[in-house]
């Protein structure tokens, strides 16, 4: 069964190639159906293998395909364990739904087949990432998803903002990749291999805590790039320039969670380095807080969701930092469902509003698009963390795990609760401003419900959003049990009684409901409240982080480059070369003055030299 796993990568790749070369001939919307078909097929291929893993009929296994780079022992090999199975299911499952959704959403775009080609390429890249059995191959997937992300963000490249956003995403991700790359160097220098199983089995023996800290910190730099953590989160809000299905698939559900996935995959190494764990936890918490603070003031519906994604990724990273891998992955899963749902819902709204994304000109859409309204309502409650929606269970688990760590981690727990409050608040703001109240549409906009290809994915995702949380409750720990196979070398610390868990959950629930009530009271009225004041203004331009980076890194960097190019290279280096050149010429001019052109002067020179030579020979030969 595992032998056909390579098809999970190959099928979307084939789909991508077909659409790239023949997409125009296939035409709309058939090209979209082809793309959807290949992804769905990949999902079907992976499905039985996943079930076999759940019922334990096949072991965790590596399937060797071929040798990639022999000198560094990098093979192309696939690892099929619960973690990769879960990610495969998320990526191909949600991926299929979003492909289905895009068939309607992208209708009429002149580069329709190209879009699906890129989407399929993304699925293939993501599968390489999650199925990889070694770090080298993971890095391939890691970079390839960056490529697909670049292609899809700047899909509407005639908009300068879209092109710039794509570039920014790739470059910022590359900064993270630098960390990953250096981590790979240290890993190879320490282990002599990239193979996960070998590394995890031997890590405690082979490397010291110091090396583990170095490796994990660098890996975290990579994760921070891909999963949009401080200080590298700035690309994700800009990435919303891409088409909405892209935002849903790549920048909410799957690719951005790659960093979290990578940390979970390297759990053994992170377990060895408590310092890294602490840093990871703090960075995650701060990211969650900062992003939530920015999200509350955004007026662009996709921007709110983008910052919300960063904030939720902060939660997941916090989970990784405190060693609650299962909880983090669980939140990753539920978040994939409800955030994809929210984005697709937002896309549906934008579609209905003829491309308008400003929530201030929406309102009252409830009656016009009931399916979108209901499904997004489920997403809203899930993200806010209301019992019994999926978000409640997973977020609560992370907070509980943080609390269980004790010590200064309690502080992180408090911040986490604050973020939960803000989350509920801004999601309520989004929901109320969009669907409730009075219509504030501009003239000529006639909102309507989206076609079936768009609403069916919404309904399916909505069902999962409502129910999926139940697979891992304090009473039923199926999910955690399933993932155990992936964390076999990780030692679990469990310290909370059932009473404490229920107590913490109650607190979280109260906070969430408080946030919803606050938002409801503030925004559910006939006039939109004015959002001015210092905090609102600073928050709306994202605390000026982009400008700050521009001032402190981009501009000085550009200045330095210009100096090197225009001054150092031209004046100094070329100057030296020219100096040598003109020096030689000057010396030549001096010598040229000896060339009087007078034959007799030359002859005299020859004669004098002859005499002198004879004298020298005599002197040397002792002729005198």
The one among 3, 442, 541, 569 contacting another protein by CB under 8 A: 569
With CB under 8 A as the contact rule, the residue among 27, 51, 54, 67 that binds another protein is: 67
**Based on the number of CB atoms within 10 Å of its own CB, is 188 exposed (0-12), middle (13-18) or buried (19 or more)?**
middle
Binding mask 193-222 for another protein (x = CB under 8 A): x-x-xx--xx-xxx----------------
**530 lines the binding site for another protein (CB under 8 A):** no
Around Cβ 500, how many Cβ atoms within 10 Å?
Answer: 13
Under the binding rule (CB under 8 A), the answer on residue 552 touching another protein is: no
Looking at residues 586 to 615 of the shown chain, list those that interact with another protein (rule: CB under 8 A): 591-601, 603-604, 607-608, 610-611, 614-615
Q: Map residue 277 onto helix, strand or coil.
A: helix
Q: Would you count residue 170 as binding another protein (CB under 8 A)?
A: yes
Q: Given candidates 30, 181, 459, 507, which one binds another protein under the rule CB under 8 A?
A: 181
Q: Decide if residue 61 touches another protein (CB under 8 A).
A: yes
Nearest to 100 by CA among 81, 79, 119, 72: 119
Q: Pick the stretch among 410-418, 497-505, 516-524, 571-579 that binds another protein (CB under 8 A).
A: 571-579
CB 281 within 8 A of CB 297: no
Alpha-carbon distance values, 196 to 188, 267, 400, 420 (Å)? 12, 11, 30, 35
Q: What is the 3-state secondary structure (H, E, C) of 56-79?
A: CCCCCEEEEEEEEEHHHCEEEEEE
Considering the complex, what minimum distance in angstroms separates the CB of residue 615 from another protein?
Answer: 6
**Residue 173 Cβ, how far from another protein at the closest point, in Å?**
9
Question: Pick from 524, 543, 526: which is nearest to 295 by CA?
Answer: 543
Listed residue (375, 315, 307, 365) closest to 342, CA to CA? 375
Size of the site for another protein (CB under 8 A): 95
DSSP for 366-427 reads: TTT-HHHHHHHHHHHHHHHT-TTSHHHHHHHHHHHHHHHH-TTHHHHHHHHHHHHHHHHHHH
Asked if residue 44 has a cis previous peptide bond (ω within 30° of 0), the answer is no
Q: Does 558 bind another protein (CB under 8 A)?
A: yes
Q: Does 73 engage in binding with another protein (CB under 8 A)?
A: yes
Select 499 or 597, whichever has its Cβ closest to another protein. Answer: 597
> Does residue 4 touch another protein according to CB under 8 A?
no
Among 25, 56, 57, 70, binds another protein (CB under 8 A): 70
Nearer to another protein, 114 or 540 (CB): 114
d(Cα 622, Cα 616) in Å, to the nearest integer? 10
Instruction: Show the site string, 285-324: x = touches another protein by CB under 8 A, - = not.
Output: ----------------------------------------
Q: Using the rule CB under 8 A, give the single segment among 274-282, 436-444, 459-467, 572-580 that binds another protein.
A: 572-580
25, 55, 57, 71: which one binds another protein (CB under 8 A): 71
Min separation Cβ 471 and another protein, Å: 24
Binding to another protein, residues 124-163 (CB under 8 A): 136, 139-140, 142-144, 147, 150, 154, 157-160, 162-163
Binders of another protein in range 77-116 (CB under 8 A): 77
* Residue 80 parent element (H or E): strand 74-80
Q: Which CB atom, from 75 or from 397, has the smaller least distance to another protein?
A: 75
Contact with another protein (CB under 8 A): which of 10, 14, 182, 459? 182
| CA–CA distance, 521 with 2 (Å, rounded to integer) | 54
> Does residue 361 interact with another protein by CB under 8 A?
no
Tokens 């190209």: give the residue.
114
Copy the structure tokens of residue 76.
């192309």
List the x/- string, 462-501, binding to another protein by CB under 8 A: --------------------------xx------------
User: Is there a contact between 200 and 225 (Cβ–Cβ < 8 Å)?
Assistant: no
Cα separation, 607 vs 611, in Å, equals 6
Q: Measured from the CB atom, is 57 or 526 closer to another protein?
A: 57
59 sits near another protein (criterion: CB under 8 A) = yes
Are 462 and 341 in contact by the 8 Å Cβ rule? The answer is yes
């Amino acid at each position: 069964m595992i032998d056909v796993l390579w098809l999970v990568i190959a099928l979307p790749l084939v789909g991508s190639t077909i659409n790239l070369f023949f997409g125009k001939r296939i035409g709309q919307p058939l090209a979209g159906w082809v793309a959807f078909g290949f992804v769905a097929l990949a999902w079907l291929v992976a499905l039985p293998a996943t079930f076999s893993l759940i019922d334990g009929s096949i072991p965790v296994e590596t399937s060797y395909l071929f040798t990639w780079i022999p000198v560094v022992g990098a093979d192309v090999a696939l690892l099929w364990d619960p973690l990769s199975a879960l990610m495969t299911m998320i990526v191909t499952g949600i991926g299929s739904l979003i492909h289905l959704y895009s068939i309607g959403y992208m209708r009429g775009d002149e580069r329709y087949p190209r879009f699906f080609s890129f989407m399929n390429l993304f699925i293939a890249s993501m599968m390489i990432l999650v199925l990889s059995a070694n770090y080298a191959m993971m890095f391939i997937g890691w970079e390839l998803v960056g490529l697909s992300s670049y292609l899809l963000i700047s899909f509407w490249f005639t908009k300068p903002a879209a092109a710039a956003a794509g570039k920014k995403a790739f470059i910022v991700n590359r900064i993270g990749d630098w960390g990953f790359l250096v981590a790979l160097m240290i890993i190879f220098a320490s282990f002599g291999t990239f193979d996960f199983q070998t590394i995890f089995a031997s890590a405690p023996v082979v490397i010291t805590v110091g090396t583990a800290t170095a490796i994990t910190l660098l890996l975290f730099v990579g994760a921070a790039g891909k999963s949009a953590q401080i200080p590298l989160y700035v690309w994700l809000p800009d990435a919303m320039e891409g088409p909405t299905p892209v935002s849903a698939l790549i920048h909410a559900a799957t690719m951005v969670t790659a960093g979290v996935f990578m940390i979970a995959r390297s759990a053994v190494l992170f377990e060895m380095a408590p310092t890294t764990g602490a840093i990871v936890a703090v960075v995650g918490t701060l990211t969650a807080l900062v992003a939530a603070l920015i999200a509350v003031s955004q007026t662009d519906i996709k921007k709110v969701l983008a910052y919300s994604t960063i904030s939720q990724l902060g939660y997941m990273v916090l989970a990784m930092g405190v060693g609650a891998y299962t909880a983090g992955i669980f939140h990753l899963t539920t978040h994939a469902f409800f955030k994809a749902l929210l984005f697709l819902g937002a896309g549906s709204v934008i579609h209905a509003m003829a491309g308008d994304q400003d929530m201030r000109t929406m309102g009252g859409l409830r009656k016009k698009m009931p399916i979108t309204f209901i499904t997004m309502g489920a997403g809203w409650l899930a993200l806010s963390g209301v019992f019994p929606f999926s978000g409640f269970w997973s977020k609560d688990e992370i907070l509980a795990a943080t609390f269980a760590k004790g010590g200064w981690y309690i502080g992180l727990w408090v911040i986490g609760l604050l973020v939960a409050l803000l989350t509920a608040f801004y999601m309520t703001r989004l929901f109320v401003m969009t669907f409730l109240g009075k219509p504030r549409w501009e003239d000529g906009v006639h909102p309507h419900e989206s076609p079936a290809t768009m609403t069916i994915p919404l309904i399916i995702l909505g069902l999962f959003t409502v129910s999926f949380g139940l697979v891992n409750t304090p009473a039923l720990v199926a999910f955690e049990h399933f993932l155990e196979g992936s964390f076999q070398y990780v030692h679990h610390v469990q310290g909370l009684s059932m009473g404490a868990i229920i107590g913490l959950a109650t607190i979280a629930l109260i906070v969430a409901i408080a946030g919803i009530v606050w938002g409801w009271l503030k925004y559910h009225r006939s006039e939109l409240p004015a959002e001015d004041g210092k905090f609102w203004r600073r928050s709306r331009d994202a605390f000026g982080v982009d400008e700050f980076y521009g001032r402190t890194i981009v501009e000085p960097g550009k200045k330095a480059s210009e100096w090197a190019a225009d001054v150092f290279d031209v004046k100094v280096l070329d100057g030296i070369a020219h100096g040598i050149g003109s020096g030689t010429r000057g010396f030549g001019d001096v010598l040229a003055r000896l060339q009087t052109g007078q034959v007799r002067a030359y002859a005299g020179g020859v004669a004098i030299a002859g005499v002198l030579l004879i004298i020298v020979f005599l002197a040397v030969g002792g002729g005198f």
